[in-house]
Amino acid sequence: MAPKPSKASKAQPKAPEPIKEYPNIAAFHQATYENSRPYHKPLASLSATEKTHYAYARLLETGIWKSWDEFQRKDFWKYIETNKIPVPLPEPKDLGRDRNGRDISKYSVKEYEEYQKRERGLEGLVRESTRFRDRQRRLRRSGRAGEDIEGEIEEERNRRKLIGVLRGKKMGRYEEDPEWDDVVPIAQDDGEGALAQIAYTEEYSEGI
């Protein structure tokens, strides 16, 4: 009796590649930048196909394709998509420093994501606060300041406290209270011959 043919062994599923860890956000941005330019190498090291891909990548980067007619653009993008040519990213910029003077480029990827989330939240709060101030000014100019709604004022008061927290800055009593927005502080002048500056309290200094 002839032996039964052995069953072909099932192909083992390929293990997913481990997620690459980066020492900081600057390294992540640099790697992302380089990955978007796989054909930006010495031409002598590229194959004929890679040289063609490089030419298309350069056209993609310069944006010259935008001046072409519809047929040319369609043909161009078909080649880009078929060959999965990535859009070249601009070179990473300096991220500067945060409000505590820390170099943002040294943040971990997770820290940077949290930083961006805080900044977006802060920007939204500042926009809402600006709208509130503008509305209050319009009401005062039109003599309708009495239309202020206490709920809105309290909401703005809490908003300003949160802005101060996100900025790492403690707001003064008058700065964070919308009811003092129309009060203009009077500059204190101790005179040219003053021997020493008077040590006012923070609250008093804010008022003058």
Q: What percent of the chain has pLDDT over 70?
A: 71
For residue 13, report the phi and psi dihedrals to the nearest 5 degrees.
Answer: -60, 140
Tens digits of residue pLDDT in 96-113: 999 889 999 999 999 999
Residue 114 has pLDDT above 90, yes or no: yes
In the structure encoding, which two tokens stand for residue 105, read together?
A: 């480029």
Structure confidence by residue, pLDDT tens digits, 18-55: 567 899 999 999 999 999 999 988 989 999 999 999 99
Q: 91-95 contacts: CB < 8 A, separation 24 or more?
A: 91/33, 92/26, 92/29, 92/30, 92/33, 95/25, 95/26
Q: Is the pTM of this model over 0.85?
A: no
- Residue 181: pLDDT above 90? no
The answer, yes or no, to whether residue 144 has pLDDT greater than 70, is: no
Identify the residue with better confidence: 94 or 141: 94
pLDDT digits (tens, 9 = 90+) for 16-27: 555 678 999 999
The amino acid at residue 134 is D
Alpha helices in 63-195 (DSSP H): 70-82, 109-141, 150-167
* pLDDT higher than 70, residue 195: no
Q: What is the pLDDT of residue 86?
A: 94
Per-residue pLDDT averaged across 53-64, rounded? 94
Please tell me the number of Cα atoms within 13 Å of 111 on its side-chain side.
14
